Amino acid sequence: MNENYSSCLLPKSVAQDKKLSLKAKGLYWLMQGFIKGQEFDSKHFKSSFKAMCKDGDKAFNSAWKELISAGYLKIHRITSEKNGRFTYSYELLDIADKTTPPLIECWKVRRSKYGR
């Protein structure tokens, strides 16, 4: 395959979702293609994708929110037990999940040297 072409496919459920705009489907496709790459900066997830788009903040944020409200993008907020700070992890789903909330709270438990 020619390295100038992306090999990622848009899941059928996303492509056929009539509630999603073309803008949101395009953002999904972009995210799916880069999320698996080793050079992807997961610490700056949203800003990394925003930098790849010529759209302004309002257009980008509306597509981002659309993926979240449709149930395709989940955000895991991980609270460190050690210092109480947050880190975020993102999950892009092939099939929309509206049963799980868009923001999922997680706790990073610090293990003692004794394994507890």
Q: Give the pLDDT confidence of 21-45 residue by residue, as tens digits.
A: 999 999 999 888 777 655 555 566 7
The answer to whether the beta carbons of residues 81 and 68 sit under 8 Å apart is no
* CATH of segment(s) 12-108: 1.10.10
Q: Report, in this order, helix, strand and coil percent for the chain, each rounded to 5.
A: 35, 20, 45
Kindly tell me if the per-residue pLDDT of 93 is higher than 70.
Answer: yes
